[in-house]
């Protein structure tokens, strides 16, 4: 992710790792007047035939009026009428493995030799338990106490649930591009700050009715302004690094704290700083589509510090809990918000492989996806559920908001239908 002084590799994160529904019955007012102003006879008695014609005409106009009202009131996508979700938060913790998510801390890495652990006993006390279920609960209590009980989790390969990326790079920029656009792009072959030529689901949503100035991103890595192509898209983002503030200005105290803190990495701020900025921004601006990108999990793995890798994953779990509790305390969000949580790439396995990712790292294509929200059936940890892909996240996010991303971008992956809560029909299947 960064040009860090701690890692002597060339690319620390790379090689190494169309509007409003109008009145669709144009003769509405005229039709209503026709019904209301059927001439009344002044003493002249209509024959049964004439009466029948007038009555039939009035009934026909009435039926047309009812049909017009139904069309006017119907949502653009009739299949979305039952959706409760009005807001989606897409949350990524960078480079966090499925192994720890589903089985907790790995004992072989909880030492100084293989995991760079400074205090083995303290780490074991905090995160080691005898069973995978207990270990994962200790490491990620909100994930397993709330999301696994009321949402869905994909990616436990030990139970036949597969979640994978479709790009072959297995590092960050290609992964985030796939998450945000719904497809792998071979042009994304480095982590350089190259403006993304692709339109992300966030940029697309920003142009949809009801989403103007309601889309934002907060993320810890300095390449995100390029990935979102903020210069073109206008998506508000924080931090902006060397650029001027772009729509998100944190509190003076947080700004001062960031400035006064000695950074560990040149291209990354601490997750805790971003978390505070996110909490403040949500309270003040109430975005409907929000991206939150935590980066420390990937950084500490690259630094060969398994203890800090686990600790910051634990912190991210608590950050997500705080975000969820905040949304449930605000009327705009309560019972109307879905969280999609995932990672941009996996990592290798074994005593050394866990530190790395990239094209040559076996297993780094394996990820995980978690979803919690009012429309997602509480199926919990999925088993024998088939395969899902990173390229499905953008369309899933849009579908939960009642929007058809695939119709605008046919190359994007289809939504993960089981998290939407109804039999979703992708319009591309009808063609």
Rounded Cα gap, residues 237 and 310, in angstroms = 27
**Minimal CA–CA distance to 221: which of 169, 187, 172, 175?**
172
So what's the pLDDT on residue 213? 95
Phi, psi of 232 (to 5 degrees): -90, -45
**H or E, element range at 93:** strand 87-93
Residue 427: band (very low, low, confident or very high) from pLDDT cuts 50, 70, 90: low
Average pLDDT of the residues in 398-406: 97
Q: Which of 48-57, 106-115, 231-240 has the least mean pLDDT? A: 48-57
Provide the 3-class DSSP secondary structure of residue 84: coil
Residue/partner pairs of 424-429 with CB below 8 Å, 24 or more apart: 424/79, 424/399, 425/79, 426/395
Residue 391: band (very low, low, confident or very high) from pLDDT cuts 50, 70, 90: very high
So what's the pLDDT on residue 71? 43
So what's the pLDDT on residue 54? 52
So what's the pLDDT on residue 431? 54
E strand intervals along 167-322: 215-219, 237-238, 289-294
DSSP letter at 361 equals -
* Residue 238 CB partners (closer than 8 Å, separation 6+): 217, 218, 245, 246, 248, 249, 250, 274, 277, 281
Do residues 247 and 236 lie in contact, with contact meaning Cβ atoms separated by under 8 Å?
Answer: yes
**Minimal CA–CA distance to 370: which of 145, 206, 216, 178?**
145
Asked whether residue 249 carries a pLDDT value surpassing 80, the answer given is yes
Do residues 202 and 217 lie in contact, with contact meaning Cβ atoms separated by under 8 Å?
Answer: yes
Asked whether residue 30 carries a pLDDT value surpassing 90, the answer given is no
Length of the chain: 431
Do residues 402 and 83 lie in contact, with contact meaning Cβ atoms separated by under 8 Å?
Answer: yes
So what's the pLDDT on residue 244? 78
Mean of all residue pLDDT scores within the chain: 86
**pLDDT per residue as tens digits for the range 83-136:** 999 999 999 999 999 999 999 999 999 999 999 999 999 999 999 999 999 999
Task: Tally the C-alpha atoms within 13 A of residue 232's C-alpha that lie toward its C-beta.
Answer: 14
Residue 59: band (very low, low, confident or very high) from pLDDT cuts 50, 70, 90: low
So what's the pLDDT on residue 369? 98
So what's the pLDDT on residue 82? 86
So what's the pLDDT on residue 74? 43
Provide the 3-class DSSP secondary structure of residue 237: strand
CA 218 to chain centre: 13
Phi, psi of 104 (to 5 degrees): 80, -160
Do residues 339 and 369 lie in contact, with contact meaning Cβ atoms separated by under 8 Å?
Answer: no
Residue 143: band (very low, low, confident or very high) from pLDDT cuts 50, 70, 90: very high
Rounded Cα gap, residues 393 and 412, in angstroms = 9
Asked whether residue 39 carries a pLDDT value surpassing 70, the answer given is no
Which has the higher per-residue pLDDT, 117 or 424? Answer: 117
User: Is the preceding omega at residue 208 within 30 degrees of 0, hence cis?
Assistant: no
So what's the pLDDT on residue 424? 64
* Residue 92 CB partners (closer than 8 Å, separation 6+): 176, 179, 291, 292, 293, 294, 341, 342, 343, 344
Asked whether residue 393 carries a pLDDT value surpassing 80, the answer given is yes
Q: Which of 47-51, 100-104, 207-211, 396-400 has the least mean pLDDT? A: 47-51
Question: In this structure, how many other beta carbons lie within 10 angstroms of the beta carbon of residue 106?
Answer: 21
So what's the pLDDT on residue 245? 78
Full DSSP string of 105-153:
--GGGSSHHHH--S-HHHHHHHH--SSHHHHHHHH-HHIIIIIHHHSEE
**H or E, element range at 319:** helix 306-328
**Rounded to two decimals, what is the model's pTM?**
0.82
Do residues 215 and 190 lie in contact, with contact meaning Cβ atoms separated by under 8 Å?
Answer: no
So what's the pLDDT on residue 241? 83
Rounded Cα gap, residues 207 and 214, in angstroms = 10
Residue 335: band (very low, low, confident or very high) from pLDDT cuts 50, 70, 90: very high
Q: Which tokens sit at 300?
A: 């500490």
Question: Residue 86 burial (CB < 10 Å; 0-12/13-18/19+)?
Answer: middle
**pLDDT per residue as tens digits for the range 262-313:** 999 999 999 999 999 999 999 999 999 999 999 999 999 999 999 999 999 9
So what's the pLDDT on residue 289? 98
**Minimal CA–CA distance to 280: which of 246, 317, 251, 238?**
251
Average pLDDT of the residues in 367-374: 98
């Amino acid at each position: 992710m960064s040009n860090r002084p701690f890692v002597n590799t060339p690319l620390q994160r790379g090689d190494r790792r169309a509007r409003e529904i109008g009145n669709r019955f144009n003769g509405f007012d005229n039709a209503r007047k026709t019904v209301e102003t059927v001439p009344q006879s002044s003493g002249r008695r209509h024959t049964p035939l004439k009466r029948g014609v007038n009555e039939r005409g009035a009934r026909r106009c009435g039926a047309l009026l009812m049909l017009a009202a139904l069309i006017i009131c119907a949502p653009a996508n009739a299949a979305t009428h039952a959706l409760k979700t009005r807001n989606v938060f897409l949350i990524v913790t960078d480079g966090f493995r499925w192994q720890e998510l589903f089985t907790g801390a790995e004992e072989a890495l909880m030492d100084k030799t293989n995991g760079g652990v400074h205090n083995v006993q303290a780490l074991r006390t905090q995160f080691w338990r005898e069973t995978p279920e207990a270990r994962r609960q200790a490491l990620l209590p909100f994930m397993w106490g709330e999301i696994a009980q009321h949402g869905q989790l994909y990616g436990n390969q030990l139970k036949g649930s597969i979640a994978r990326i479709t790009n072959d790079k297995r590092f960050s920029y290609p992964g985030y591009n796939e998450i945000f656009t719904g497809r792998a792009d071979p042009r994304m072959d480095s982590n350089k700050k190259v403006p993304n030529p692709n339109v992300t689901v966030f940029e697309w949503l920003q142009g949809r009715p009801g989403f103007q100035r309601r889309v934002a991103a907060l993320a810890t890595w300095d390449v995100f302004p390029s990935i979102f192509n903020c210069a073109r898209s206008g998506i508000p983002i924080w931090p902006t690094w060397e650029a001027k503030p772009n729509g998100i200005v944190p509190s003076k105290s947080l700004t001062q704290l960031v400035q006064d803190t000695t950074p560990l990495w040149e291209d990354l701020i601490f997750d805790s700083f971003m978390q505070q900025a996110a909490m403040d921004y949500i309270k003040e601006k109430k975005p409907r589509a929000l991206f939150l990108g935590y980066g420390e999990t990937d950084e500490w793995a690259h630094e060969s510090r398994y203890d800090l890798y686990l600790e910051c994953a634990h912190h991210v779990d608590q950050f997500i809990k705080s975000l969820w509790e905040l949304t449930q305390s605000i009327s705009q969000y309560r019972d109307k918000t879905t969280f999609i949580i995932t990672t941009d790439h996996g990592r290798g396995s074994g005593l050394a492989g866990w530190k790395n990712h990239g094209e040559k790292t076996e297993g780094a294509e394996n990820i995980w996806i978690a979803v919690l929200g009012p429309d997602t059936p509480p199926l919990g940890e999925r088993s024998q559920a088939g395969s899902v892909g990173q390229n499905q996240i953008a369309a899933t996010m849009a579908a939960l908001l009642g929007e058809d991303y695939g119709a605008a971008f046919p190359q994007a992956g289809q939504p993960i239908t089981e998290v939407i809560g109804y039999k979703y029909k992708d319009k591309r299947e009808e063609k």
